[in-house]
Structure 1
């Protein structure tokens, strides 16, 4: 994080073999017995949970599964395995590295959280700080289980520090979501409203309530989602959060941790990552590789591109002054990021026409880019630009969706209006008053694309709205994204569990259809 010292926590584990157990302490390595002694250890142990977000699979490949696998984006990567496994549902390798890494890194985060939860209670230290650190650990355990439930569904629930001989069985997706909800509820009861100084960027009560609402909404338990959302929108949270006047400020490295940020992943450049002779030191990258992998061609790897239907959503309405929706230019690089066209749309110091010609129709997400930095000609693997995973506009749209689902459509209008008016669009309550419950949900679907495209929520939105549950609904997606022509109902809503885990764990059953 920008202000938090990260510490890579190693666990001392025993080894096992088929002949006999071997339990020998390596005198040259730190162990959990030697660690977890004081408040500094507790702080560093929890910091290690945060550092899980720096691992490439979490910030990079997990985003691919939430975004490229959805109908928003697609891949023309030269790596055909990325196209097949992460976009086109042509999944034949149940040990595909990127899938397994996302699964494994979420469990690494859970392992780190479980260590903290098991060991910090025994440390003699300031009790209020202890309670806060334990709440941070519970928040992250809930976050990691939210990802596992969303992507893999029926995964094991592990609530104690694991050992090499542990062979946990599957839990159902509902049970995994329930564990996430419990952790987040307990975290929200303890976490502070905000931080100052070097602690800015740590998870807050608002972050826990927002993620808790997401967990409940994924189960379509809108009644349960109402309370944490009310706290954020009508209660104490409304005094902490608001919308930035300039939409693009939510994606610039110069305006991080602003009032719209509810859960923001902190990234930084680590000046000590390389030694004087440019030899890389291991596990010291505090930056994000996402911008490099999804950056436009000749700028980044261009492994993810935006479907043009997403751009068309922004053109459905003009602002009250007759201008184009300003979120389009802030969200997407394409031939008309500048409304005047490819000769004026700048892509890292060159016009779109100079880079790709005047008729190219490719498009890329801009929200994670660093093109605003002076002199930038390309991306890299260590972007210090934070990832705003939950913004307050997302919360407002979640609240509107929840109220509508509970039959309170007229009450929901005002929260959509806030999001629209920030970018100069007319209030929905004026242009489309008295929508039915079903029509209002359709409008929410549009609003979430124009406000949140590329931010990593689209897959769960589609799942929540039932698009993976019938062939007719999948056919709607296939009209926007041809990859869904190979989507199999009953199978592809979830990823396969790593086959290597299924093979070595007799208590683990592969997901249906695989």
Structure 2
């Protein structure tokens, strides 16, 4: 976090978010005076906060969304998938043969700290701008929510990280002396920001249609519920999740298949969503996942292929409704796309011959050109079913099993599955955890769920991965899947190198350690 680097990033912030970029190109924008000049109008303040949102998914495919996709590859839900391109910086992470200097760790860290810097500038400058007080309160609430969002991503990925909360700090010589704060200190800041955001943000129903996608009170409550759940603050998590459920602001999509659809932006279930549009005149205003995740036989890159283990989990529940809208299998029809009766999963270049249906765009709905950065498919970070299952899990650990079963059944009703209401104890816990896997499959939640969920104090990821892991055992000793067991360009033993003493966190990017002059220390084992 070298001061010079951060000043350059701030300069880039101003250039990128100004609605009159041409006016800035001829001006040497550096330092405090230029910020004084910029934060002189209500319009500029709104534009600056808009710029924070760009870092939620990254301003390019490799900055945030692809690292999150790699996280899913490091679970039992996904293989790396692409067996045609040797990319050890990707496959190594997925297989727990981790290369600390991977560009994806570096880009994720840098992307998030740029977002934090933008939020810090907003929180420091907007209070002094003359504008409508309700708008000011909202903008500050958005900045607090987004800063909490970035820090939550960082602390779950890397553990304790350096805390920077003001722009002024970045101008001080001692910025290079920043050390990693404790995990507890990072979570305390996240909680403080989200509680402040809840107080300042409008309800979803109070936004005009053109403002949908901004942070809302419900988004802040939902994220805070997940923050509490991650810390095993069960009572607070249950209360906060319940606040969202009873707010009347959200409801489950009647048809599971419509949750991810190019025709259903900001649907009734969506709580925090990043929308994308298609416009061939501009790059990077459309989504990326349909391409990076798509089959190599269908104009995609082939990364992140669903496992037969995940498919088996759906089959074991008789859950065809969610299965058909989650996994596309080579040679089979694509549910909801009448133009594709035999999908080309290209098993010779795809480990499992399977593709994520949630990020798939039906042929008739594809834009021209159909390419990365042009896909109008939104990405949903928080949705109501997620909150309901957080509520169920928190209620279970609070000893409120009847409430836990009731919330579990609300989610299962949509896909015509019943809950055994006699379930209790660890059987109920496991049913809730399994439901999270099925409901949220391939939506980039699985890794963090497996890290935080524990059985007898052991994180579940450590029971699935490693030499004695059940997922490794299934693939190497049990599976007869015709695609996975014949395409061995990605080894069947994926996850065998997992070490619970190392891999519950990702490595701190080495360049950040170097820039801090060694004050930021590496995670154990890397």
| TM tier relative to shorter chain | 0.7 to 0.9
Aligned-pair CA distance for 1:164: 8.2
> In structure 1, how many angstroms separate the alpha carbons of the residues matched to 2:347 and 2:513?
49
Aligned-pair CA distance for 1:197: 2.5
Aligned-pair CA distance for 1:12: 4.0
CA deviations on 1:26-50 (whole Å, 9 max, x unpaired) are 9723332321111011100100001
Aligned-pair CA distance for 1:422: 0.8
- Where 1:364 maps in the other structure, the secondary structure is strand
Of the candidates 69, 72, 77, which is equivalent to residue 77 of structure 2?
72
After the TM superposition, which residues 111-126 of structure 1 pair with which residues of structure 2 at under 5 Å, given as runs? 111-126=117-132
Change (3 A) 1:126 1:471: closer
- 2:41 aligned with 1:38: yes
> In structure 1, how many angstroms separate the alpha carbons of the residues matched to 2:227 and 2:52?
20
Structure-1 residue corresponding to 2:485: none
Gaps of 5+ in 2: 1-7, 13-23, 476-492
Of the candidates 485, 488, 492, which is equivalent to residue 503 of structure 2?
492
CA deviations on 1:396-419 (whole Å, 9 max, x unpaired) are 111000000101111211111111
Structure-1 residue corresponding to 2:483: none
Of the candidates 145, 148, 163, which is equivalent to residue 151 of structure 2?
145
Of the candidates 461, 470, 476, which is equivalent to residue 470 of structure 2?
476
Change (3 A) 1:183 1:357: closer
Structure-2 residue corresponding to 1:434: 422
After the TM superposition, which residues 294-373 of structure 1 pair with which residues of structure 2 at under 5 Å, given as runs? 294-299=293-298, 300-318=300-318, 325-335=320-330, 342=332, 349-352=339-342, 356=346, 362-371=353-362, 373=364
- 2:417 aligned with 1:412: no
After the TM superposition, which residues 129-208 of structure 1 pair with which residues of structure 2 at under 5 Å, given as runs? 129-161=135-167, 162-163=170-171, 165=173, 166-167=175-176, 168-194=178-204, 195-208=207-220
Change (3 A) 1:290 1:361: closer
Structure-1 residue corresponding to 2:16: none
> In structure 1, how many angstroms separate the alpha carbons of the residues matched to 2:139 and 2:81?
43
Of the candidates 441, 451, 457, which is equivalent to residue 439 of structure 2?
451
Change (3 A) 1:328 1:491: same
Structure-1 residue corresponding to 2:289: 290
Structure-2 residue corresponding to 1:263: 272
> In structure 1, how many angstroms separate the alpha carbons of the residues matched to 2:212 and 2:355?
31
> In structure 1, how many angstroms separate the alpha carbons of the residues matched to 2:130 and 2:263?
39
Structure-2 residue corresponding to 1:338: none
CA deviations on 1:200-219 (whole Å, 9 max, x unpaired) are 11111110011011111111
- 2:224 aligned with 1:212: yes
Aligned-pair CA distance for 1:158: 0.7
> In structure 1, how many angstroms separate the alpha carbons of the residues matched to 2:53 and 2:495?
35
Of the candidates 89, 99, 112, which is equivalent to residue 96 of structure 2?
89
C-alpha contact 2:306 2:352 (8 A) present in aligned 1:
no
Aligned-pair CA distance for 1:290: 1.6
Of the candidates 61, 66, 87, which is equivalent to residue 66 of structure 2?
61
C-alpha contact 2:64 2:107 (8 A) present in aligned 1:
no
Change (3 A) 1:122 1:344: closer
Q: TM-score, normalised by structure 2?
A: 0.83
- 2:240 aligned with 1:252: no
- Where 1:388 maps in the other structure, the secondary structure is strand
Structure-2 residue corresponding to 1:502: 513
> In structure 2, how many angstroms separate the alpha carbons of the residues matched to 1:248 and 1:149?
32
Aligned-pair CA distance for 1:127: 0.9
Change (3 A) 1:301 1:471: closer
Change (3 A) 1:261 1:374: closer
- Where 2:361 maps in the other structure, the secondary structure is coil
Q: TM-score, normalised by structure 1?
A: 0.84
Aligned-pair CA distance for 1:62: 2.9
Change (3 A) 1:357 1:82: closer
> In structure 1, how many angstroms separate the alpha carbons of the residues matched to 2:423 and 2:36?
61
Gaps of 5+ in 1: 1-8, 14-24, 274-283, 319-323, 336-340
C-alpha contact 1:296 1:333 (8 A) present in aligned 2:
no
C-alpha contact 2:293 2:301 (8 A) present in aligned 1:
yes
Structure-1 residue corresponding to 2:489: none
- Where 2:272 maps in the other structure, the secondary structure is strand
> In structure 2, how many angstroms separate the alpha carbons of the residues matched to 1:43 and 1:436?
50
Aligned-pair CA distance for 1:67: 1.0
Aligned-pair CA distance for 1:380: 3.1
Structure-1 residue corresponding to 2:376: 384
CA deviations on 1:294-328 (whole Å, 9 max, x unpaired) are 1012220001111111111111233xxxxx52111
Change (3 A) 1:135 1:357: closer
C-alpha contact 2:329 2:343 (8 A) present in aligned 1:
no
After the TM superposition, which residues 453-468 of structure 1 pair with which residues of structure 2 at under 5 Å, given as runs? 453-466=441-454, 468=459
C-alpha contact 1:349 1:375 (8 A) present in aligned 2:
no
C-alpha contact 1:348 1:376 (8 A) present in aligned 2:
no
C-alpha contact 1:68 1:75 (8 A) present in aligned 2:
yes
